[in-house]
Amino acid sequence: MSKPHVLITCAVFPETIARLQRHFEVESNQDDAEWSPAELIRRLQGKQGAFTTGSVRIDEALLAACPDLKICANMAVGYNNFDVDAMARHGVTATNAPDVLTETTADFGFALLMATARRITESEHFLRRGEWKKWRYDMFAGAEIHGATLGILGMGRIGQGIARRGALGFGMNVIYHNRSRLDPALEAECRARYVGKEELLKSADHLVLVLPYSPSSHHAIGAAELAQMKPTATLVNIARGGIVDDAALAEALRNGTIAAAGLDVFEGEPTVLPALLTVPNVVLTPHIASATIPTRRAMAELAADNLVSFFEGKGPITPVLPAQGATK
């Protein structure tokens, strides 16, 4: 019996490729070439499975042109690159990689919060330019973190991890808003209090975004929401690009509507809005919240697990369901 054919659309650990080669006929993209939609469709001809990342769009046009495709396994917790409803119509299974990156991403979210609040990037650039000549009482004086109010928009696994770090590690007052309220026992574990979105915006000293991207969350933070925040507040986005109106944020940072922002995700990434590159009070990182070697290995292995389990007839391990909505 011939092996199923699988396309790996991105560079990945050699050990992951070797493992998949034991089960499948594999074509891999270790050069990490950026394929056009037409080139991706061409390479998927005759392939039953695909190992994907969030930059690989699986949509109606591709599905119609790739009738052999049976499963796409995303090496990511998010899957807004998948048209899940179209995949269901075409009988193509979608999987993601939840849980394995929760703690690492929560670590990074808190690191980005701290760098933003304490003006780490801004002060480093100052030092590197040779402008540090003397000490001054207000030099790069930032915002307190310990004892401050931490607001979390989106209270999935990663949001809960950030809440625990804030409450238990820094004695922060944690408030959150979510589509649905957490179970009281989980709220108590996170030491977090549920509030409406308006109260969240007005009360948070530091607001962290960890909600999934969907049409309903597009520009969930725009000019109107930024105007409700404290002028001393910081905003951190480790969720998805498009949740924040980047142009409105750049203007808010420039005119002092809020004090600072930390961004790991952007609209239209890897392109970054030029206006964000010209304001000093923003920390920018290239979508690396899950970037530790152990976590990235775990993400790759879970994507591989999904492919192997599916083709062995056991079903996918972490399937994404139509209209389920991505989770953080």
Angle, helix 14-21 to helix 293-311, in steps of 10 degrees: 10
Residue with tokens 């953080």: 328
**How many whole angstroms separate alpha carbon 148 and alpha carbon 135?**
26
**How many whole angstroms separate alpha carbon 254 and alpha carbon 199?**
24
Q: Which two tokens stand for residue 167?
A: 């409450």
Contact 8, 26 (CB under 8 A): yes
**How many whole angstroms separate alpha carbon 158 and alpha carbon 155?**
7
Contact 210, 166 (CB under 8 A): no
Per DSSP bridges, beta strands 192-194 and 260-263 are: unpaired
Which residues on neighbouring strands pair with residue 74, listed in sequence order? Answer: 52
Sheet holding 93-95, edge to edge: 25-28, 5-8, 49-52, 71-74, 93-95, 319-320
Catalytic positions: 240, 269, 287
Q: Is 91 exposed, middle or buried (0-12, 13-18, 19+ CB in 10 A)?
A: exposed
Q: Which two tokens stand for residue 54?
A: 């969030």
Contact 186, 194 (CB under 8 A): no
Tell me which H or E stretch contains 151: strand 149-153
Q: At 265, is the secondary structure helix, strand, or coil?
A: coil
**How many whole angstroms separate alpha carbon 184 and alpha carbon 191?**
10
Other C-beta atoms closer than 10 Å to the C-beta of 201 total 23
